[in-house]
């Protein structure tokens, strides 16, 4: 989101952490990572990133690239907006421009309109498109109004991007087993008569794709494994 939109305050309330939050430019310079638990999803890693500004110079984009790349590598983005800012729409446009420059514009996202506590009696709410998909949440990170709606939407949107089922691993792929446990993706484990490990897993689609690439899983292993997986 744009600088001073309330990203760190939202991050703090969602994770019960104490990341520095201030009304000033670049109060957050490095991405801060915390784990949160989302009902029906399990562990989710949340990253607090640097605030974007209007006409961010290309050299500055390069300087912050490691920070900004957290957005590109994410499974899902929360685009936080200062809902009561008179420049709200322009700020949204500026953020989208930077996301496009760092090639993060194809990552699924949710608009989070923050600071409704400064808008009178404006109630927290969820906006949905014609297909019923949640596209925006209106809330106050400072007071906590609407955080329950945000968690509800995270469950809805991320739950549709999960890979789950039984993964069959021969002994030579013990590193894959360890990786799945590291992701908190294992729900059950057993073995078959051939000595293969059977893991009942549930993980984000992107984590699954990254694991397949990282461990160079061959076609036979994928065919054996994916027969019981669905998303």
Using CA atoms, how far apart are residues 113 and 140, in angstroms rounded to an integer?
A: 8
Contact 4, 33 (CB under 8 A): no
Chain-centroid distance of CA 64 in Å reads: 19
Order of strands, edge to edge, in the sheet holding 77-82? 77-82, 109-114, 134-138, 125-128
Using CA atoms, how far apart are residues 110 and 92, in angstroms rounded to an integer?
A: 12
163-205 pLDDT, tens digit each:
888 889 999 999 999 999 988 889 999 999 999 999 999 888 8
Residue ranges, comma separated, of all CATH 3.40.50.300 domains in the chain are: 7-159
24-77 pLDDT, tens digit each:
433 344 457 787 777 666 778 888 877 766 665 656 666 566 667 778 888 899
213-224 pLDDT, tens digit each:
999 987 667 666
SS3 170: coil
> Which DSSP letter does residue 194 get?
T
In angstroms, the Cα distances linking 210 to 75, 82, 176, 179, 187 are: 11, 34, 12, 11, 20
Residue ranges, comma separated, of all CATH 3.30.70 domains in the chain are: 162-230
Domain 7-159: CATH architecture, name and number where available: 3-Layer(aba) Sandwich (3.40)
Task: Report whether CATH 2.70.98 matches the domain 162-230.
Answer: no
Each residue of 86-106: b (16+ CB within 10 Å) or e? Answer: eeeeebbebbeebbeebebee
């Amino acid at each position: 989101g744009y600088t001073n939109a309330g990203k760190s305050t939202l991050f703090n309330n969602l994770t019960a952490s104490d990341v520095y939050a201030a009304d000033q430019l670049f109060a957050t310079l490095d991405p801060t990572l915390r784990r949160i638990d989302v009902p029906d999803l399990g562990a989710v890693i949340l990253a607090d990133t640097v605030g974007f500004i209007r006409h961010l110079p290309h050299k500055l984009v390069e300087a912050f690239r490691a920070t900004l790349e957290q957005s590109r590598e994410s499974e899902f983005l929360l685009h936080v907006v200062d809902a009561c800012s008179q420049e709200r729409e322009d700020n949204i446009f500026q953020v989208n421009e930077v996301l496009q420059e760092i090639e993060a514009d194809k990552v699924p996202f949710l608009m989070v309109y923050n600071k409704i506590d400064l808008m009178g009696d404006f109630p927290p709410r969820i906006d949905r498109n014609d297909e019923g998909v949640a596209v925006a949440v209106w809330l106050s990170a400072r007071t906590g109004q609407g955080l329950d709606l945000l968690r509800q939407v995270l469950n809805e949107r991320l739950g549709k991007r999960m890979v789950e089922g039984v993964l069959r691993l021969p002994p030579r792929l013990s590193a894959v087993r360890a990786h799945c446990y590291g992701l908190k993706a294992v729900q059950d484990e057993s073995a078959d008569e051939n000595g293969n490990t059977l893991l009942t897993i549930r993980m984000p689609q992107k984590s699954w794709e990254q694991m397949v690439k990282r461990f160079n899983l061959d076609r036979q292993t994928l065919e054996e494994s994916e027969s019981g997986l669905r998303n």
